[in-house]
A and B are shown apart, each in its own frame.
Chain A
């Protein structure tokens, strides 16, 4: 397992109806990689993430996570969605949000003490508190989720993803809504996490995470790969810009080459 890629995508094409969103995508992600997925809005970043989660099915090609179809690998994947998808007034406590990460685990028998039906178990609760400690929010466990700041809510979502002890963590826009004071916390958190798992960050803000990342995927209908050494300040500047900058990358790598 140490040599097999964590994520491998081959010959993938995906479209919503007639609209082709991703075309001929080949990529692979190795264990303990920290990957940043960048690209213009509507370029297919989130779609790529949802394909990795098994929430969408490709029209052509295959997605394998730990060598398995995404649905079969779900118990080992952690996921943090964009916070804007949630109802900000939902009456729920922080601990309950984190406990959601333990749902469905009993079926996979991977984590001891996770309970499938009825109220959560003591083991569920302890794991949730531990995950909150990891993001420095254990003292907020009984607070209402809606009373937290945007950055704190983001960290709760991270704790929810960590509580199932994943081997692969997928972040959708982790740095959106983070204020400057917590960006440093986020940075150290990523530093800590990369030692034990593989991270995929979808971001329009690669400048922020570039020191942490060792691989960058540019997504705009197709996917181009760069190792961090290739990422010069010029490329960085270009990545903030529009899609046509990304198309220029086509000359850096031959078309269709697996993005490795």
Chain B
């Protein structure tokens, strides 16, 4: 541990990684709470996988077609937003089976990404870092972008928490009270998409869903309101990302995977403890 602290003092990339974990935790705890109580984790997972399509396309444009400004991160944002709008419109308008569409977006997005990356030289390292994350590669620019995303999400929640809470708790009642349910559902999906992109840079496409839901699942055992759930989730994801980073440093383990395993272990312990506590009380 002291080795990690020493290294953090010495290397800016580690400090950036720690800052990235803090910034991602804010969005993660807030949006993750809505995602869990509205039961759309499957949608968030679909978005995060679909992001590969955007990243691959952007990478291809940048490296092969020489469009220098076309960063993979922008491609990720575009793909996630597109997925959010398609899923939102399908579930609100078309009578298509929603889960089929969500699954299709999930797989087709990945397939598109794989095709583009195959046509881009030097793809293996990139593909691995997209899939499993590389928090140590976070640059200063990216931190600014993450901060801006956080600010946007916090603003949305401060303005519209009551509406979002209402559509999560009882959509039909909210509609009757004149809340524009469709618009707020789309707002929730768009916020989810942006949060997913943020988290992809930390833990990678495959593990986003765990970082989005595990802190909330732990918080759910203690929280008495959505605000508490959000606060506790933010705190927990700060702990998970920071501790995961520190634990992975000395043995040189992948940081993203360490973070997720840590979060999963804490969730398991809390869930088992909670169940056995209730079992004891019932006796």
Min CB distance A25 to B, Å, is: 21
B-contact 0/1 string along A61-85, CB 8 Å cutoff = 0000000000000110101010001
Interface residues of A, CB < 8 Å — how many? 34
Contact A103 B224 (CB under 8 A): no
Contact A91 B170 (CB under 8 A): no
Contact B226 A117 (CB under 8 A): no
The complex places the Cα of A53 from the Cα of B223 at a distance, in Å, of 34
Interface residues of A in 42-74 (CB under 8 A from B): 53-55, 74
The complex places the Cα of A26 from the Cα of B173 at a distance, in Å, of 26
Can you name the residue of chain B whose Cβ is closest to the Cβ of A99?
A: B162
**Residues of A contacting B129 with CB < 8 Å?**
none
**Stretch of B56-64, B131-139, B175-183 on the interface side:** B175-183
What are 19 of the A-B contact pairs (CB < 8 Å)?
A81-B172, A85-B172, A87-B37, A87-B39, A90-B37, A93-B225, A96-B225, A99-B162, A100-B166, A100-B169, A100-B173, A103-B174, A103-B179, A104-B177, A108-B178, A117-B159, A118-B158, A119-B162, A164-B177
The complex places the Cα of A107 from the Cα of B177 at a distance, in Å, of 10
Contact A55 B172 (CB under 8 A): yes
The complex places the Cα of A89 from the Cα of B221 at a distance, in Å, of 10
A-contact 0/1 string along B198-225, CB 8 Å cutoff = 0000000000000000000000100111
Min CB distance B29 to A, Å, is: 14
Can you name the residue of chain B whose Cβ is closest to the Cβ of A17?
A: B95
**Residues of B contacting A102 with CB < 8 Å?**
177
B165 at interface (Cβ–Cβ under 8 A)? yes
A97 at interface (Cβ–Cβ under 8 A)? yes
**Residues of A contacting B158 with CB < 8 Å?**
118-119
B-contact 0/1 string along A16-43, CB 8 Å cutoff = 0000000000000000000000000000
Min CB distance B213 to A, Å, is: 15
B194 at interface (Cβ–Cβ under 8 A)? no
**Residues of B contacting A77 with CB < 8 Å?**
176
Most buried by B among A54, A86, A92, A102: A92
Contact B226 A91 (CB under 8 A): yes
**Of the candidates B159, B169, B170, B173, which one forms a contact with A118 in the assembled complex, judged by CB atoms under 8 Å apart?**
B159
Interface residues on B, range: 20 to 34
Can you name the residue of chain A whose Cβ is closest to the Cβ of B224?
A: A144
Min CB distance B273 to A, Å, is: 18
Contact A105 B177 (CB under 8 A): yes
B228 at interface (Cβ–Cβ under 8 A)? yes
**Residues of B contacting A53 with CB < 8 Å?**
176
Contact B223 A91 (CB under 8 A): yes
Contact B173 A81 (CB under 8 A): yes
**Residues of A contacting B229 with CB < 8 Å?**
91
The complex places the Cα of A120 from the Cα of B161 at a distance, in Å, of 10
Given A81-B173, A93-B225, 4 additional A-B pairs, CB 8 A: A96-B225, A100-B166, A103-B163, A103-B178
**Residues of A contacting B144 with CB < 8 Å?**
none
The complex places the Cα of A92 from the Cα of B224 at a distance, in Å, of 6
The complex places the Cα of A104 from the Cα of B173 at a distance, in Å, of 11
The complex places the Cα of A86 from the Cα of B37 at a distance, in Å, of 11
**Of the candidates A87, A92, A118, which one forms a contact with B226 in the assembled complex, judged by CB atoms under 8 Å apart?**
A92
**Residues of A contacting B174 with CB < 8 Å?**
100, 103
A160 at interface (Cβ–Cβ under 8 A)? yes
Contact A100 B159 (CB under 8 A): no
A101 at interface (Cβ–Cβ under 8 A)? yes
**Residues of B contacting A164 with CB < 8 Å?**
177
**Residues of B contacting A87 with CB < 8 Å?**
37, 39, 169
**Residues of B contacting A104 with CB < 8 Å?**
177-179
Contact A92 B169 (CB under 8 A): yes
Contact A74 B162 (CB under 8 A): no
**Residues of B contacting A55 with CB < 8 Å?**
172, 175-176
Known: A91-B225, A91-B228. A79 touches B162 (CB 8 A): no
The complex places the Cα of A238 from the Cα of B160 at a distance, in Å, of 49
Interface residues of B in 140-180 (CB under 8 A from A): 158-163, 165-166, 168-170, 172-179
**Residues of A contacting B172 with CB < 8 Å?**
55, 81, 85
Known: A100-B177, A104-B178. A91 touches B162 (CB 8 A): no
Interface residues of B in 72-127 (CB under 8 A from A): none
Min CB distance B171 to A, Å, is: 9
